[in-house]
Amino acid sequence: MAKTRELCKDIRDKIVDLHKAGMSYRIIGKQLGEKATTVGAIFRKWKKFKMTVNLPRSGAPCKISPRGASMIMRKVRDQPRTTRQDLVNDLKRAGTTVSKKTISNTLRRHGLKSCSARKVPLLKPAHVQAHLKFANDHLDDPEEEWEKVMWSDETKIELFGLNSTRRVWRKKKDEYNPKNTIPTVKHGGGNIILWRCFSRSGPKSLLQCVQTWLVSSIHAVMATAAGIIVVSSCKGNVIMDRHWLTTYFVIWYGVPYMSYDIFAMYLSHYYRFRVKGHKDYKSHSLRTVNSFVRKEFLLVLHHIALLSILLPVTLFFRKNQGDFFIGCLFLTELSTPFVSVGKILIQLGLQECWLHKVNGGMVLLSFFFFRIALFPYMYWAYGSHYGIPLYSVPFHLPLSTNLGNLCILSPQVYWFVLLCRKGFRLYKRQRDAQNQVSPLSSPEPLSDISKAD
């Protein structure tokens, strides 16, 4: 093992003088506070070479002076991407010729080593301010709100060759210092982009979300098409006119889809809470079903009302009358495709484009006319058939019919209010952003009504 320290020349000469006076190694060591082996080694060296100073040692002297080392350290601290050849050229202009290996050894002695620069997103000051504003705006949001948020990101993979790498001189814990990173942007050719998203319940594939929205949109388009066919065929006599598609669509498509939708909502609720680690969600049980019904009571009630009211009325209680009104109920699904398109645009980060704004307007219009105003229209069509005014129609209909319509209409009014509130918040946020310098849009969480539809 190498020596940790060396004795000065005066102490070495004193050791030699004391030993010449007849003192032993141990006594000299106790008197001077040194080990007896150290005292013996120094005296034997004097006895052999007649000198106590260190002998000339092997090895070339350092070619880089302390001033030169300070110069290259200063440049590396200011510009971590400086190459060894650049430093060699700088020293050569200063009158010192060294190799790149000597540069590496000098930098390592000062605690630096060559590392690949970490790649981080290119954040301009406007981006930083927008991120900070988003964090402050949602700092006090309740936990339930974050359960509805879905975040997405993408990565670029080169198809031909690899992304170029740059090396920097840095210390171990400075990998994310802005000087030691390479900003990246999402552009270029010859590559593919993979997209993933995640929520509080865990990572998900964006394709899976699109598939879910696509199923809802397909059902909505088919229901709307069926409604248009039935209404246009039965508008001559809204009570007695018949169309075969009314009963067949409800039995063979509407009922299976509503049943599937309830089951899909339950599975989503179950796995979301299972990922959170709730002890009651280790397996399916009555407790998990009860928790799902209580948490999503309005949605479950909406689906059960359609199954328990629309299906029996369609098959048994309407006495082969009123196909026109069943077709009108099919038209309530017209707003669903616009809601799904809005979700997809948000996940694609296009909530600031004109298409998202136009789609938002279509959501409000279609929801109001085909889910709320549709019910007064059906009452008006019924009154026109019998020649009675609109305000007298509820008193002309059985109580059960009015209650059934109320059960279907009430959730629609509630969801429309949520839509209007959501639209007002978006408008207010965009107006506030326009008052700032170079605003950047923040990711927008999914709304209750988006989840509901």
Q: Which of 136, 171, 200 is the last residue of a domain?
A: 200
Contact 287, 335 (CB under 8 A): no
The predicted pLDDT at position 397 comes to 87
The predicted pLDDT at position 448 comes to 39
Q: Are 214 and 287 within one domain?
A: yes
Q: pLDDT band for 442, please (50, 70, 90 cuts).
A: very low
Q: Is the pLDDT of residue 97 over 50?
A: yes
16 inside domain? no
Identify the domain containing residue 180 by its residue range: 65-116+146-200
Q: Render pLDDT for 81-96 as a digit per residue (tens, 0 to 9).
A: 888 999 999 999 988 8
Contact 239, 385 (CB under 8 A): yes
Q: Are 293 and 349 within one domain?
A: yes
Beta-bridge partner residues of 170: 113
Torsion of CA 394, 398, 404, 409, to 10 degrees: 0
229 inside domain? yes
Q: Which of 182, 200, 218 is the last residue of a domain?
A: 200
Beta-bridge partner residues of 154: 195
Closest CA to 158 of 184, 196, 191, 133: 191
Q: Render pLDDT for 391-424 as a digit per residue (tens, 0 to 9).
A: 888 888 888 888 878 877 888 898 889 888 888 8
2 vs 430, higher pLDDT: 430
Q: Are 194 and 214 within one domain?
A: no
Q: Are 182 and 273 within one domain?
A: no
The predicted pLDDT at position 89 comes to 92
17, amino acid identity: D
Q: Are 230 and 257 within one domain?
A: yes
Query: How many whole angstroms separate alpha carbon 429 and alpha carbon 434?
Result: 9
205 inside domain? no
Q: Are 177 and 240 within one domain?
A: no
Phi, psi of 404 (to 5 degrees): -65, -45
Q: Are 419 and 328 within one domain?
A: yes
β-pair type (191-199, 118-121): unpaired
Q: Render pLDDT for 258-280 as a digit per residue (tens, 0 to 9).
A: 777 787 778 767 766 776 667 77
Burial of 112 (0-12, 13-18, 19+ CB in 10 A): buried
Q: Render pLDDT for 46-62 as a digit per residue (tens, 0 to 9).
A: 888 888 887 776 667 78
Query: How many whole angstroms separate alpha carbon 374 and alpha carbon 364?
Result: 14
Query: How many whole angstroms separate alpha carbon 378 and alpha carbon 381?
Result: 5
> Which residue is associated with the tokens 């000469």?
13
Burial of 51 (0-12, 13-18, 19+ CB in 10 A): exposed
| The pTM of the whole model exceeds 0.85 | no
Q: Is the pLDDT of residue 8 over 80?
A: yes
Mean pLDDT of the chain: 78
Q: Render pLDDT for 278-303 as a digit per residue (tens, 0 to 9).
A: 777 777 888 888 888 888 887 787 77
Closest CA to 411 of 309, 259, 341, 306: 306
The predicted pLDDT at position 444 comes to 42
- Overall domain count for the chain: 2
Q: Are 179 and 242 within one domain?
A: no
Q: Are 261 and 194 within one domain?
A: no
For range 216-234, the mean pLDDT: 87
Closest CA to 150 of 186, 194, 196, 193: 196
The predicted pLDDT at position 346 comes to 72
Query: How many whole angstroms separate alpha carbon 72 and alpha carbon 105?
Result: 12
100 vs 252, higher pLDDT: 100
Query: How many whole angstroms separate alpha carbon 207 and alpha carbon 197?
Result: 9
Q: Vertex 445, ends 124 and 361: CA angle to 5°?
A: 100
Tell me the two tokens of residue 231.
């209404």
**Dihedral sign from CA coordinates of 30, 33, 37, 43:** negative
Distances in whole angstroms, Cα of residue 3 to Cα of each of 7, 11, 60? 11, 17, 21
The predicted pLDDT at position 33 comes to 87
Share of the chain above pLDDT 90, in %: 5
Q: Render pLDDT for 353-393 as a digit per residue (tens, 0 to 9).
A: 788 888 888 888 998 998 899 999 999 999 998 889 988 88
Please give the helix or strand (H or E) that residue 116 lies within, else none.
strand 113-116
For range 35-50, the mean pLDDT: 87
Supply the angle between the helices 66-78 and 84-93 in degrees, to the nearest 10: 140
Q: Are 318 and 347 within one domain?
A: yes
Q: Are 262 and 389 within one domain?
A: yes
293 inside domain? yes
Q: Which of the residue ranges 6-15, 53-62, 85-94, 120-129 would you say has the lowest mean pLDDT? A: 53-62
**Dihedral sign from CA coordinates of 299, 304, 309, 310:** positive
55 inside domain? no
Q: pLDDT band for 161, please (50, 70, 90 cuts).
A: very low
306 inside domain? yes
Q: Is the pLDDT of residue 307 over 60?
A: yes
34 inside domain? no
Closest CA to 311 of 265, 264, 248, 370: 248
Closest CA to 330 of 288, 362, 374: 374
Tell me the two tokens of residue 152.
């997405």
15 inside domain? no
DSSP result, 149-209: -EEEEEEEEESSS-----EEEE-TT-TTSGGGEEEE-S--SSEEEEEEEEETTEEEEHHHH
For range 7-23, the mean pLDDT: 87
Q: Are 176 and 284 within one domain?
A: no
Q: Which of 172, 200, 228 is the last residue of a domain?
A: 200
